[in-house]
Structure 1
C-alpha cells in the first residue's frame, strides 16, 4: 500500500477542497487512461468529490474518440480554475503542461509518471510515484488494484488502450505490461474493439511532417551507427519514429518557433543495448545544462522542450554524441 499511503499523506497534509488531475498538452491515450483511472481512485477510494480532469489545451483527436467510446467523465476541463492541489499524470516535464504551468506549480502537486523526469520537477513536487515503464496506465492500474476497487469496464478499457498505445502495440514491452494486460483481459476488456478504435488513419499533416523529415534529414555516421537530424514544424515524435523505420539507428527531429524549441529523439533497441546511451539521462537532460528548458523520457525515446536555437541544439548534440560514442560523426552525403 506504499503508493496509496504516499497519496493519502499528500491529501492529509494539504487537505484540498478541489483537486485537479492534469496531463500534458494534447493528451494521448496513455494520459487519458491514467487520468481517468486516478479520477476513479480519488472519487471511490479517497472519497474526494470535487476532483476534475484537466487536459491542458485539450486532448488529442484519438483520445476524444476513445473517451466517446468508453465514457467515464461527464466532462473535463482544458484549463485550471481555482484548484487547491494537483495530481500531475504522464506529463514528462514542466514545459508539457503548456500555458497552465505556472498556475499549477503555484499549488501543491503530486506526480504519477513513467518517464525519467527532470530533477527540477521532482524537487518541486510534494511527493511522487515514478517508475520507468512503457505506460503510465500500468502504474495507475496497480494503484487501483492496491485499493481493491472494482472498476467499470470502461475504466479498464481506457487503461488497456493507454498501454497498447504507448507500448506501440507491445513493440516496446516489459513483463509487467504483459501481466497487467493479462489481468485486464481476465476482467473483460474489449481488446479487439480497442485495437480497432486505436487504428485510425494517420492525419495528412502528420504524413507530410514525416515525409519532410525524410527529405530534410542530415545524416551522419559514427562507427557502424547511422544518425539522423531533421527539422519540421509539428509531429516531431512521429517524424523521429519514421526516420528510425527508414533505417536510422538514432534520430533527432526538432521544431523551432519564436524562440521555442522542441526536440524528439528516438533510437533502436540495438543502439541502446550496444552503446548503453540512455536518451533521457545521457542526452536530453544534458541539453538542459546549456539551454533553458526541460528534458526527459525513456532510454530509447526522449524529448526536450524549452527555448533556444535549433542549430545550437543540434551542434551540442553532435558534440555530445561524439564524446559518448568515442568517434567523430562524419557527414553522409
Structure 2
C-alpha cells in the first residue's frame, strides 16, 4: 500500500475541482500503460459529470488491442479545450506529449525515474511498477473507482510489468492487482486481449527484426533493428513493434539489448537489461526511462551509426560486463 506522504491528495483534488475543463494526455507513440492510465482517469472524471473532460494523444497509430477499454473510441488526436487543466500520463518530459502547453497548469502523473518534473503538481513515484498504479493509489483516496477505470488501470499494470515478470513487481503490485480485480476486473478477459489479438503485420516485422540480430561483447550485448523499408513492406505500426526488444534480452548470454526503429520522424531506440542501468546510457543521448528499460529518440542520423555509437557507449561503461550500478 502507498504511504500517504507520497500523494498530495488535497492538492490534486483542489486542482481538479477548480478546473472548468480537463485535457488528459499521454505520450507520443503510447504504450498500454500510457493509454490505460489516461483512460482510467478519463472515465473516472467523466463519471463525476461536473466539468468537460477530453482524452487526447498526438499519435495517429494507437495500440488496437486496447480498443476493449472503456473510452478508447473517445481518444482525440488534438486538444479542443482552451486553457484546460492538463493531466499528463506516463510521460517523462513535456516534449513527449507532442503539444505546446505553454501557460497551462499540468498535473504530472508518472513513474519514470528520468521524469523532469515539468508539472505544476508532480505525482511521480519511480518505485511504482506502472503509471496506472500511481494513478490508482492516488485517485482511490479521492473518488470512488468504477469497474471501467479499474479495468484500464489493471491492463496498464499487466502490460508494464510484462505479465508480472519485471524486477518492479513486489507485494504492493500484487495488492494493487487484487484490489483492481475486486472492483470488477476480469483478468482472463484482459489477458485474452493482450495475448490473442496480435496483428499479422506484427509477426512480419518481428521476423525482419530477428533477421537483423547482431551480438557484441561475447554475446553480452544484442542489437536488433528495422528500417523504414521494413516497416513499409510489412505494413507495421509502432504499436506492432512493442516488445520486440525483449526477444533480444531473453537470450541467455545477453545483459543489455537494443532495438532501433527507423521511422519517418526519426530513429527510436529501446534499451533493456537484466539489471544494468540502461537509463544512464539513455541519458547520455537525451533519453531516459527506468534502470532496466529506457529509450532514446534521434530526430536525424544514420541508423547503423546510431546503433554503433550506443553499443560503443555500453561497452565503454562496462554495463554488459556485470557492472550493474
TM-score range, shorter chain: 0.7 to 0.9
Which of 286, 289, 307 aligns to 1:314? It is 307
- CA 1:40–1:102 in structure 2 vs 1: closer, same or farther (change >3 Å)? closer
Match of 1:241 in 2: 246
> How much does 1:90 deviate?
1.3
- 1:176 corresponding residue in structure 2: 172
CA deviation digits over 1:131-151, x for unaligned, max 9?
12221111111112211x332
Equivalent residue for 2:32? 29
Larger % of helix: which?
Answer: 1
Counterpart of 2:281 in structure 1 is 283
Of 290, 294, 304, the residue aligned with 1:302 is 294
Q: Quote how far apart the aligned CAs of 1:78 are.
A: 1.9
TM-score, normalization by structure 2: 0.80
Post-superposition Cα deviations, 1:2-59, rounded to whole Å, max 9, x if no partner, equal 33234246458xx5432200012344432233113322454567x7511211132353
**Stretches (4+) displaced over 6 A:** none
Matched, 1:82 2:81: yes
Q: How does 1:1-333 map to 2 (within 5 A)?
A: 2-8=7-13, 10=15, 16-43=19-46, 48-58=50-60, 59-64=62-67, 66-67=68-69, 71-72=70-71, 75-84=74-83, 85-97=85-97, 101-105=98-102, 107-119=104-116, 122=117, 124-132=118-126, 133-147=128-142, 149-172=143-166, 173-221=169-217, 226-233=220-227, 234=238, 237-247=242-252, 248-257=254-263, 260-268=266-274, 272=275, 277-280=276-279, 282-288=280-286, 295-309=287-301, 310-325=303-318
Note if contact 2:33-2:130 (Cα within 8 Å) is conserved in structure 1: yes
Q: Root-mean-square deviation (CA), in Å?
A: 2.8
Runs of at least 5 residues in structure 2 that lack an aligned partner in the other structure: 228-237
Per-residue CA distance 1:158-181 (angstroms, 9 max, x = gap): 221211122111112222211101
Per the alignment, do residues 27 and 83 of structure 1 end up closer, same or farther by CA in structure 2, a change over 3 Å counting? farther
Q: Residues of 2 paired with 1:82 and 1:112: CA distance?
A: 20
Shift of 1:312: 3.9
3-state SS of paired residue (1:35)? helix
Indicate how the Cα distance of structure 1 residues 105 and 302 shifts in structure 2: closer, same or farther if over 3 A, else same.
Answer: farther
Question: Which whole-Å deviations, capped at 9, do the CAs of 1:225-245 have from their partners, x for residues lacking one?
Answer: 621123214555422112223
* Cα contact 2:108–2:124 (8 A) shared by 1: yes
Structure 1: 5+ residue stretches without partners: 289-294, 329-333
* Separation in structure 2 between the aligned mates of residue 167 and residue 183 of structure 1, nearest angstrom: 17
SS where residue 303 of structure 1 aligns?
strand
